[in-house]
Chain A
Amino acid sequence: MTAPAASPPTRSTAPLVISVKDLQVHFKVKTGVVHAVDGVSFDVRDGETLGLVGETGCGKTVTARSFLRLVKTPPGIYAGGRIDFWSGDARRSGAGPVDLLRVPDREMLAIRGDRIAMIFQDPAKALNPSMSIGDQVAEVLYQHRSDDLVDDQPEHVPRMLRRASRQLTTGPERLALRLPPWRKRASRLRRRGDELVAAALAETQIANPRKIMDRYPHELSGGMKQRVMIAQALACNPDLLIADEPTTALDVTVQARILELIADLQRRHGTSVLYISHDLSLVRQMCDRVAVMYAGRIVETGNTRTVFSDPLHPYTRGLMAAVPSASQKRGELLAIEGNVPELIDPPASCRFHTRCGFAVALCEQADPELLEIRHGHGVACLAYASAGKLGVPNAALPLVDGSTR
């Protein structure tokens, strides 16, 4: 339905980490089927940061969640498309990608938290309130790095200890691990685990990791909690980090430091980041490339600098206009009139035409595809459709006289 966006000029040589093709995620509700994500395609390349921007309800979070297959089914339905993922190992060994929508559950579990990690919007809700910070960070390490924990040769490690290294022991086993034959090795295991956890926390510039480990989430500030989330996400050094509005729930003063931290860690580890936000100024600051989402579709994609200096889609232009200058408070995308349309069984028309100042009759009848206008800069708007490949705006349509530029 939609063509995949071309890669940006700057990093076109970097290998792919993620390639989303025509992703469709629907939700069955009483009154019909909501097309929450309806034919989304984009790529993320090694080491780059892609920003996915759009208003609340445009499908960006659903897109991100489907990477880890976290969309609840039912009511969700993975209706189509594929998400190809090249892990670091796959790239090095030259193996092909796996389709995240179709890998077996067992493999998915191995990818989650290890190869692809996620930071949630509200750290206060995403941390388990009744579990200590140390245990929560340890969990992801124990799950994926248990071999690092058992210092003996892996094949000689008794099963029970192995289970302990995954925090799987219950009742009698846990008791047994406190008794002489196991005790020493079990406590060594625990010490080693604690070291790794402390190291992961220290990565996020938490001052006193050992002390924090015994704390519970409600005892920490919002920024601290988000640091813990980040430590947790990066503990296994993933290939891709999904950051779903990681600073929205935080104080403005803390936001900047968290963003710096993410950027810094990304630089040092070479992690690719999918950055989801409704905040354009953040995206501009954080991302190499940006994809603008509207009503379940990507309407514009390209190099951050290009898109910001020369936005093509009327929606993107609206967003830009809504961003206040630096001295003002950060803009939420409220200045465009109207709301995102209901996505229940949408008709074949441009999704934006109800709010578009440049809409013509044709916009109600045809569904524009995402076309590459210039090198690496794609837009889904009929105004560019006829002249698309040439990169020359269609003079017949009013949009293109560039009055907003």
Chain B
Amino acid sequence: MQIREYILRRLMILPLIVVGTSIIVFGLSRVGGNPIAIYLEHEMTPAEVAEIEERYGLNDPLPVQYLAWAGGVITGDMGWSAVSAQPVTEALIDRVGATLELAIFAAVVAITLGIGLGTFGGARRDRWPDHLTRIFSISGASMPIFWFAILLLILFWVNLGWVSIGRSDPIVFASIAHPTGLYTVDAILAGSLTALIDALRYMALPATTLGFGATAIIARMMRSSLVEELNEDYVDAARAKGLPERLVLRRHARRNALIPTVTVIGLGFGFLLQGTVVVEIIFRWPGLGRWMADAVLRGDQATIMGYVLFTSVLFLTVNLIVDVMYAYLDRRVVLGA
């Protein structure tokens, strides 16, 4: 019962935060610069500029402008993306698959590896596996993604030639239909092993790069919560039952240590989302991140606004899901208190 209440409360706050975010996004475009900068050319006369400003309603009071924009966003009209020469909404839909696919793969890698490493280190507290885990996770949090990506490229692309950059071999990519926009899923749906291998081969390096930081965050959290759980009485009680150490760890301590670890998965997802910008630039991945980077460099405000709003809504949603999962997993928190 209380879980439902909790979810409801969170769902009620969510729109408020989204509205707040949209105000910030809108404010940025109006306070910081000129929303039509990308359309202005040097040879335009002031009269021409004024005409454009008039056409886009830039002379209206700011609240009116905001409402006009927000109304557009709600009806799916987020303006025109100059960098991709199509409506922002359309551009978002075209690119979201590539980015999500990358982020999901990286997340899967990060969660599995992070939990594995954290368990490995935490169960061997203060011995060398623990120290190695610690060094790994601090390195992960300190690693500039752009540098890590370049190092991997130098090794696997330039020197070993094992991978190529981009998202796919264009011929293979064109050979199958793309109903979902997720290349791997489409490949499986089309039953094409070639396409699936192609997808995974191109994905491997960017997903590894992207997942590194999140892996570190998750491993660190897993390690410290496992150490904490291992000090609990119920762990000794489990030992007193005659369970072998392996089972004590797996069935008791690890299960409970996972609960707080879930909370950083949301944080890690933010890490992944922001990482896509850099990873997509370096690996020439045709997703949202590179689109944003283009827009940033060319001052395409509509695209920037659309991207930031979309990303934060996605981030909020993932965090909401994570919190609900947490509330569900940790029966003590919701039902106990």
The answer to whether A and B touch directly, with their CB atoms under 8 angstroms apart, is yes
Q: Which residues of A contact B (CB under 8 A)?
A: 65, 68, 70, 109-114, 117-118, 120-122, 125-131, 139-140, 143-144, 167-168, 216, 218-219, 229, 232
Contact A218 B335 (CB under 8 A): yes
* Min CB gap B331→A, angstroms: 5
Specify which chain A residues have a CB less than 8 angstroms from the CB of B252 in the assembled complex: 128, 131
Number of interface residues of B (CB under 8 A): 24
- B56, CB-defined interface residue at 8 Å: no
> Does B332 reach chain A (CB closer than 8 Å)?
yes
Question: Which of B237, B238, B256, B335 contacts A219, CB < 8 Å?
Answer: B335
The answer to whether B236 touches A130 (Cβ under 8 A) is: no
B18 to chain A, nearest CB (A): 33
Query: In the complex, what residue of chain B is closest to A140 when comparing beta carbons?
Result: B241
A125-B232, A126-B233, A130-B259 known; A114-B335 Cβ under 8 A = no
CB <8 Å contact, B242 and A112? yes
Q: How far is the CB of B157 from chain A (nearest CB, A)?
A: 36
Q: Tell whether, in the assembled complex, residue A218 and residue B336 are in contact, meaning their CB atoms are under 8 Å apart.
A: yes
Instruction: Report the bound CA distance from A143 to B246 in whole Å.
Output: 13
User: What residues of A have a CB within 8 angstroms of the CB of B335 in the complex?
Assistant: 218-219
Whether B6 is near chain A, meaning CB under 8 Å from some CB there, is no
- Contact: B239 with A112, CB < 8 Å? yes
Cα(A167)–Cα(B247), bound, Å: 10
Residue in B232, B239, B329 with the greatest tally of chain A CB atoms within 10 Å? B239
CB of B332 within 8 A of CB of A129, answer yes
Q: Flag if A232 contacts B241 (CB, 8 Å).
A: yes
The reply on B12 being an interface residue by CB < 8 A is: no
- Given the known interface contacts A120-B233, A128-B256, the answer about A113 and B241 at a Cβ–Cβ threshold of 8 Å is yes
Interface: B244 (CB within 8 A): yes
The 0/1 profile, CB within 8 Å of A marked 1, for residues 207-250 of chain B is 00000000000000000000000001110111111111001000
Our pick among A110, A121, A129, A168 for the contact of B331 (Cβ within 8 Å) is A129
Q: How far, in Å, is B59 (CB) from chain A's closest CB? A: 60
Q: Least Cβ distance of B94 to chain A in Å?
A: 38
Write the chain B residue with the least CB distance to A127.
B234
Complex Cα spacing A122 to B234, Å: 10
Whether the pair B255, A130 counts as a contact (CB closer than 8 A) is: yes
Write 20 A-B pairs (CB below 8 A) sorted by A numbering: A65-B236, A70-B239, A109-B244, A113-B240, A113-B242, A113-B243, A120-B240, A122-B233, A125-B233, A126-B234, A128-B234, A128-B238, A128-B252, A128-B256, A129-B234, A131-B255, A139-B243, A218-B336, A229-B237, A232-B241
